[in-house]
Amino acid sequence: MLTQVAEGVLVHQSEFVQSNTVVVHGRAGVLLIDPGITGDEMACLANDLAGSDQTVVAGFSTHPHWDHLLWHARLGAAPRYATARCAAAVRDQLSEPGAKARVADHLLETEIGGQVPLDLYGLVTALPAETARIPWHGPQVRIIEHQAHAPGHAALFIEERGVLVAGDTLSDVLVPMLDLDPADPIEDYLAALRLLEGVAGDVDVVVPGHGSVGGADQVHARVEQDRAYLLALREGHVPSDPRIGPAAKPGWEWVNDVHTGQAQRLAQKSERDKTPG
């Protein structure tokens, strides 16, 4: 079911880890951001759009993780954009033998195993590097690219509607999930938060990749919560964060494991960096 969050901007939330798909109405059709998880959900979305005489004229994947690279044939053959870095990461991923099979095997370990169509997986079109806005006939959508969470991650700011589509940041249920391969993943994430903070004063609605849609009063609060988590992680402290520990949302206790794994890998990374070569 699509829920309107601003004029011409609607959200569908999957039952699977509260994944959010965003639909933005334009002059000739809609922009579809991170279009869904299961085949049934995406087919339902296609039905809803057809029922309101809307076609998909552009798609966008916020970053190169499997749950943001999906598509359904009934959504049509519109270009599915991504940042140049994101598209390069997807290309590298798909160049490895058995890449789709590994995604399918991973999904078999979840409650949606066998329900996710992968035939159109990852077929994104790279925008030129440093592209500032999505090329389409609709409200201006600013691309805020950063390196938190995944290479070429992009938040999208729908300026005329005051909507920030945050990708996998600013969640009320997930702590910041780091891309641990770069040299300084915490600083990469802090830099991303500074970029998002730069538009926060103009945001009326924030839509995370996973979790609850927030109002204007939530934007700065979520930035500060994520920053506090990261600073505690950098100092080796146990974060005081309601998304982990005893206060974690029922059903989301696994986020504690994500946090523990990140803390352990960062500690190992720090030890390696201290060891003379």
Q: What is the mean predicted confidence (pLDDT) over 175-198?
A: 97
pLDDT of 13 over the 80 cut: yes
- Report CA dihedral (13, 41, 76, 2) to the nearest 10 degrees: -40
Bridge-based pairing state of the strands 205-208 and 153-158: unpaired
Q: Provide the percentage of residues in the chain whose pLDDT is more than 70.
A: 99
Q: How sure is the predictor about 275, in pLDDT bands with cuts at 50, 70 and 90?
A: low
Q: Is 106 helix (H, G, I), strand (E, B) or coil?
A: helix
Find the mean pLDDT for residues 183-196. 97
pLDDT at 167 exceeding the cut of 60: yes
Please choose, from the candidates 175, 164, 173, the residue with its C-alpha nearest in 3D space to the C-alpha of residue 200: 164
How many Å apart are CA 274 and CA 260, to the nearest integer?
Answer: 21
Beta bridge partners of 163: 158, 205
Partners of 214 in beta bridges: 206
> Diameter of the chain by CA atoms?
64
Q: Mean pLDDT, to the nearest integer, of 3-17?
A: 97
**pTM for this entry:** 0.95
Q: What is the mean pLDDT of the chain?
A: 95
| Residue-range domains of the chain with CATH | 3-274 (3.60.15.10)
Q: Are 54 and 74 in contact (CB under 8 A)?
A: no
Residue 205 has pLDDT above 90, yes or no: yes
- Checking if the pLDDT of 175 tops 60, the result is yes
Backbone phi and psi for residue 65, each to the nearest 5 degrees, phi listed first: -105, 150
pLDDT in tens, 120-157: 999 999 999 999 999 999 999 999 999 999 999 999 99
pLDDT of residue 172: 97
User: How large is the average pLDDT for residues 50-58?
Assistant: 95
276: pLDDT strictly greater than 70: no
Q: What are the percentages of helix, strand and coil residues in the chain, rounded to 5?
A: 40, 20, 40
**Number of helices (H), then strands (E), in the chain:** 6, 12
Query: Which of helix, strand or coil describes residue 34?
Result: coil
Identify the pLDDT of residue 107.
96
Mean predicted confidence (pLDDT) in 160-176:
98
CA angle 238, 241, 244 (to 5 degrees): 85
Instruction: Supply the pLDDT for residue 68.
Output: 98
pLDDT band of 273, cuts 50, 70, 90: confident
CA separation for the pair 204, 206 (Å, rounded): 7
Report the alpha-carbon distance of residue 241 to residue 247 in Å, rounded. Answer: 8
